[in-house]
Amino acid sequence: MLTCLLQDIIIAGNQPRIVNVSSMAHANAPSCHIKFDDIKAEKEYNDWERYGQSKLANIYFTNGLHKRMGSKVCCISLHPGVIKTELFRTFNGCLECMMWCVLGCLCMDKNIPQGTATQV
């Protein structure tokens, strides 16, 4: 909504660009689709699936902006990397916990300021 409200101001800028943060987690969306028939997750809820759908929506939105704005505005979606945040705090399954512990040891080498630098 904010991007749409600021669209005219963005277009008028010098070298305008829109950067939307997505994630490789978009692959968690089932078959890379958004469940529009259950958009509020009233029928079924899976936290990582829904997170993946939200990241996929960011990619779709950015692609749509690119098609509408053409060369007037550079539209980018990006995966900032795996960052040490509280995102994984709710894991309670043993297998999930082990998987993220391994991932954390291998990939989570960015703190929050380093992770935000990707977008800047």
Residue/partner pairs of 71-75 with CB below 8 Å, 24 or more apart: 72/11, 72/16, 73/10, 73/11, 73/16, 73/17, 73/18, 74/15, 74/16, 74/17, 74/18, 75/17, 75/18, 75/20
3-state SS class at 76 = strand
Q: Which of 27, 32, 45, 104 is catalytic?
A: 45
User: If 0-12 CB within 10 Å is exposed, 13-18 middle and 19+ buried, where does residue 82 land?
Assistant: buried
Write down the residue that tokens 């008028």 correspond to.
12
d(CA 31, CA 58): 16
45 catalytic per annotation: yes
Q: Which residues are catalytic?
A: 45
